[in-house]
Amino acid sequence: MSINEILEVLSNACGVTGRESQVKDIMVHLLKPYSDEIQIDKLENVIAVKNGKPKAPKIMLAAHMDEVGLMVKTITKDGFVKFSKMGGIDDRILLAQKVIIYTQKGARLGIIGSKPPHIQKEEERKKIITYDDLFIDVGAESKEDASKIGVAIGDPIAFDIKYTNLGNDVAIGKAFDNRVGCVVMVETLKLLKRTDCTVCAVGTIQEEVGLRGAAAAAFGVDPDLALALDVTIAGDVPGVREFDASAKMGKGPALTISDSGLITHPKVLRWLIDSAEEKKIPFQLESGLLGSTDAARISITRQGIPCGTISVPTRYIHSPVGMVHLKDIEDSASLTATAIQRIAKHF
Ligand SMILES: [Zn+2]
């Protein structure tokens, strides 16, 4: 499968944080041909192991499988679904979105509604409608009717956005944070073929609500080094200062120097930069980022694990639809694989 095809399958799947099983199954299927063993730990992190030589370093790759989304919180007596937010979502982008509720009886479509603007008071119209004043309309007549079609408290809810390749290697779709990183991980294993290091490619759960899967997986894997494969904000759109988001779409993988949870280990940064320069892979450096990745949590596991982050610049992350350049995914995988191949020069 091509990068475009893999991203399409992963992007269209539902993996709202805490309910990652659809994505987990796809990842097992995609990683299996390139690994010696697949483990699923008790929290349902996927760990694909590629065995190397016993004395060579063990490296963990971490790509989180979850996405920001919603969850059914209550159902009103008139059959409207009230919801909670799973992960960081801006309330302003919720209104009028088409969503899919994944019920025990299958997927149900709905739309996010609110009080119509015509009957809102002047002051109301100026205010942001927060998520607790919104609801999902699934066309049910009553609470009983909603239950009958399968809607239940706790069901995960994802945005109904279908993956589309716009041409010029640019694609749009949902959950690019972090299905894009998942694709980078699959492609890295594909490129690796034989290596001296043991590689544990981990699809982590619940990153969006506090890097939880990575914490448990890193303890279990106990690697010598780790790389988080994720996305970063592409700031190359109107209204964004370069100071706030310097990464640009289509200009290669971004290497994190520092973010809110990690200052990349200097040896890891050197290793990644040298690898990119040697193979002439384009890259961008980012420092002082406000967000963070699984690497933040992995780096303080056990006695400490040197970590780095390779991210694909992606526009509009944490909104219903993102945009990515497929070449950046290819370059990120090629950089990750190259770095692993030449690890002996650095560690
Ligand atoms: Zn992410």
Structure confidence by residue, pLDDT tens digits, 292-327: 999 999 999 999 999 999 999 999 988 899 999 999
The SS3 of residue 226 is strand
Task: Find the Cα–Cα–Cα–Cα dihedral 38, 156, 173, 10, rounded to 10°.
Answer: 20
Tell me the CA–centroid distance for residue 204 and ligand 1, in Å.
11
Which is it for strands 322-325 and 98-103: parallel, antiparallel or unpaired?
unpaired
- Residue 13 to residue 340: CA distance in whole angstroms: 29
pTM, to two decimals? 0.95
Closest-CA residue to 317 (of 181, 157, 222, 140): 181
Q: How many CB atoms lie within 10 A of CB 108?
A: 21
Q: What is the C-alpha to C-alpha distance for residues 220 and 22, in angstroms, rounded to an integer?
A: 23
- Catalytic residue numbers? 207
Degrees to nearest 5, angle at CA 31 with 249 and 194: 90
The 8-class DSSP code of residue 18 comes to: T
Report how far ligand 1's centroid is from the alpha carbon of 231 (Å): 6
CA torsion sign for 278, 284, 289, 295 is: negative
Q: What percent of the chain has pLDDT over 70?
A: 100
pLDDT of residue 277: 97
CA distances from 328 to 21, 171, 193, 224, 293 (A): 27, 11, 21, 27, 18
Ligand 1 centroid to Cα of residue 66, in Å, is 8
Q: What is the pLDDT of residues 21-55, one digit of tens each?
A: 999 999 999 999 999 999 999 999 999 999 999 88
C-alpha–C-alpha distance, residues 324 and 249, integer Å: 7
- CA–centroid distance, 325 to ligand 1, in Å, is 16
CA 159 – CA 109 distance, rounded (Å): 10
- Residue 117, pLDDT above cutoff 70: no
- Crossing angle of helices 326-341 and 3-12, in 10° steps, is 110
Average pLDDT for the chain: 95
